Structure 1
């Protein structure tokens, strides 16, 4: 995250790790399930491509996922062939939160960003969360993070992010950036133009927003509690979905439990006063509209195009696939095509 984006913390929370940091139901206290082994490795087919058709034009969509099996090699034959017969590659939506000010104004913000992850008034996690929750936190922290005292002064939601980053790495899972890079490389090989989908949220008074954020309280104790109590179950679920992506198991990817994981922690960030004031809660809808506009503009000139979109954004009643259907597209999933 570049230093001049504001607040870097809020953008990171909403666009990076939050899809994996909360579940809707809390597991019984003391429940520690056996983690599913990450057995998927070597060359794997991936999930196949969704097809959206309208007026003789076709959009082929690859659903991306975070995290994925770390030792997997993705078979690119299908996407390579799709790009060979396409005029454009619509890239994954990219969001930035920037101060509505010039270069020197951005430099002046840098001191304000220092310590933004820390709890207000120097409070520690022990002082912020209930004693029984803190005791359970120490147990999972020892298992996944180790003896890191710095995280003890983080806001609960930032402590959860550190927990999950460490746990995902230990589970043998990795980021999906290589998938997007591989597709972009194939597009260049075939001379296919890349269509960016970018949305920038400009903050008019970034210094005041940072100051307000530093001294505000987030409703993130519930997020922290659910995440601590469900870390093992969630890792097992992420592993299952990662394996499903790698092997092309579309039914497993449709499991709605993963969509419910966002709610508690996302609300803790977007429903706060600072987030509401800068318009952060409106970003997902605005990004979806920006993506749909890019699809319409691209298919107006190209008979076929390829797009990369997060699986979690594609599926569900408010997902991109339903939005395409509502605009007259006929949508076919990879398993229907098979």
Structure 2
């Protein structure tokens, strides 16, 4: 049994045991939002039909080309993405590369034995509440934003900080006209299927010998995820404006603005909390995940460039722009990289 696991989603290490859906791209419903009034956003989130960004062109030997399209999340909830340019490129390609994801191979019966262990996985060990595990000032901050975006929900007070933060983030972005939906990648895969273009993975395989043990250890382990929740609260207080700017820049295809925005965000802090925990120590395939995903994508991209006259690849925007981006690594290997206007 194979499960998809996205580096960006906080519950990936645990939910891969029984989930058949890609964690990042799965549609997640936000918790009920209370009737508390929230001030109008400083930046109006765009709506209607939008072109999205252009694509990067990587040129290889023999005139072979790799077209790279950057995704971003969250995006404007009321935006309709115009896929005309993407349809032309995908239809002329021989292969579409999906974003790099770690795939977990779990035996069918092993997966089933882990199911009961998932009950209560979101809760703090020893049934502790957030007020018991958070510093007083941080708990006060949490309480104010919970009231603003979620309202009365006593159950979430028993959640680990990383899960509580994820619920709050989902509610906050929804209240601000954004969505973590799956439309963009879903549409690209539909276009590929319609044009009979091969869709390939670009990540690597993770073997979990004992997923049940992994879940059990997580439930009893202390995870240093207070910083994760603190980063979430700061994002909702300070960085929502930047998120709206990024979403608008993506929707309008404003490459100059896309390049100017900082893509370091709370997800890094939260992922570090999980990967740095003791319960991951025996899961070799999960350690150094960022580096392994990057290396795997580069190998796959070079192989496709050599084999195909035209390849269409999808990456997160943060993995494209900047000196540490994947395309900078290809450029360092001698490939010509052209940015869209």
Preserved contact between residue 64 and residue 176 of structure 1 (Cα < 8 Å): no
What do residues 135-192 of structure 1 show as CA deviations (whole Å, max 9, x unaligned)? 1111100111111111100111111001001111111112352111222222233332
Q: Is the contact between residue 9 and residue 117 of structure 1 (CA under 8 Å) also seen in structure 2?
A: no
Does structure 1 retain, via aligned residues, the 8 Å contact 2:103–2:206? yes
| Cα separation, 2, equivalents of 1:331 and 1:3 | 33
Q: Alignment partner for residue 188 of structure 1, among 180, 184, 193?
A: 193
2:255 matched to 1:253?
no
Alignment-derived partner of residue 305 in structure 2: 299
Kindly state the Cα deviation for residue 85 of structure 1 after the two structures are TM-superposed: 2.4
TM-score (ref. length: structure 2): 0.84
> What does residue 104 of structure 2 align with?
97
CA contact (8 A) 2:114 2:212 kept: yes
Q: How far apart, in 1, do the equivalents of 2:186 and 2:99 lie?
A: 11
Structure 2 Cα separation of the partners of residues 312 and 276 of structure 1 = 28
From 237, 240, 249, the equivalent of 1:235 is 240
Q: CA deviation at 1:322?
A: 1.6
- 1:202 Cα deviation from its structure 2 partner: 1.4
1:118-197, aligned counterparts within 5 Å? 118-197=123-202
Shift of 1:47: 0.8
Mapping for residues 58-77 of structure 1, pairs under 5 Å: 58-77=65-84
Cα distance in 1 between the residues matched to 2:325 and 2:4: 31
Q: Deviations over 1:67-113 (max 9, x none)?
A: 111111112221122123222211222333344xx322221111111
Aligned partner of residue 82 in structure 1, secondary structure: helix
Q: Which has the higher helix share?
A: 1
**Partner of 1:306: helix, strand, or coil?**
strand
Residue of structure 2 equivalent to 1:49: 55
- Superposed CA RMSD in Å reads 2.7
Greater mean alpha carbon deviation, residues 250-259 or residues 133-142: 250-259
Contact 2:94/2:309, CA 8 A, preserved across alignment: yes
Runs of 5+ in structure 2 lacking a partner?
17-22, 26-37
Give the whole-Å Cα distance in 2 for the aligned partners of 1:149 and 1:271. Answer: 29
Larger mean CA deviation between 180-189 and 253-262 belongs to 253-262
Distance 1:47 1:185, change over 3 A: same
**Whole-Å Cα distance in 2 between the matches of residues 8 and 96 of structure 1?**
15
Tell me what 2:315 maps to: 309
Which residue number corresponds to residue 20 of structure 1?
none
Give the aligned partner of residue 83 of structure 1: 90
Residue aligning to 1:203: 208
Q: Secondary structure at the match of 1:89?
A: strand
